[in-house]
Amino acid sequence: MPFDALIAPPRPRLLAEVLEDHGVSPVPLQALAAHKQAQLERFAPSFWHQHQTWLPAGLIGSVFCMALSGGLANRTLADSLVPSWLSLFWLGVMALLIVFGVFRVSAGANWEERVVAAEGLFALGVPRRITLLARDLQRDAIGSTLVLGELLREEIVLDPYLLLDCGGERVCLGIWDGPRIIAAAGQSG
């Protein structure tokens, strides 16, 4: 029919077209993947978390050794105060090791992604430059969503990033750490 073109809905624009119209070159996904892997290695689980069966064995074993050495010392040096000072010293060393976190059992960090609204980006701590670009691109890429990725370690957010997802195609708009921008999509002109 001759008038079908007038009432047909416009075809959705590809994400590449929207980026080209805005003169934006996104952060390469390889750079994002390398950053994510580097952060996972940096915030890896502690030795004691990876070897949890050794922690109780080590602590119980050290208390057993302390008791054994105290008993042997009391038998050989019954009239001396050295054994009780030795036991007290060993308990003090163990207490200091625990207090200063030598036996810290921290799990590693993990990446989590969630869809966010463009209006809430400032409140989420997304830098202004990345927020303004994300709003412009999302407005022009109809049906797109913003995805916030966060590295979580014990409920602390480390090095977040922002993606624009349009029909399964994703581009990275930026990676930051607090006020410091690690990588951001660039605009020409």
Domain boundaries, the chain: 9-44+108-187, 47-99
Residue 136 near residue 164 (C-beta atoms within 8 A):
no
> Which tokens is 41 given?
């290695």
Which residues sit opposite 158 in a β-bridge?
151
Close Cβ partners of 59 (under 8 Å, ≥ 6 residues apart) = 94, 103
Q: What is the pLDDT of residue 39?
A: 83
pLDDT, tens only, 75-119: 655 555 555 666 667 767 776 776 676 666 666 677 888 999 989
Nearest to 14 by CA among 162, 166, 150, 128: 166
Q: Give the whole-angstrom CA distance, residue 176 versus residue 125.
A: 10
Phi, then psi, of 141 in degrees rounded to 5: -95, 90
Residue that has been written with the tokens 């890429």 in this structure: 141
CA-to-CA separations, 47 to 94, 99, 107, 108, 155, in angstroms, rounded: 17, 17, 10, 10, 20
Low-confidence ranges of the chain (pLDDT < 70): 1-13, 46-60, 63-64, 66-88, 91, 95, 98-99, 101-108, 154-155, 187-189
Q: What is the pLDDT of residue 87?
A: 66
Q: Give the whole-angstrom CA distance, residue 98 versus residue 100.
A: 6
Close Cβ partners of 165 (under 8 Å, ≥ 6 residues apart) = 144, 145, 146, 147
Close Cβ partners of 105 (under 8 Å, ≥ 6 residues apart) = 46, 48, 49, 52, 55
Q: What is the pLDDT of residue 115?
A: 92
For 72-76, which contacts have Cβ atoms below 8 Å and span 24 or more sequence positions?
none
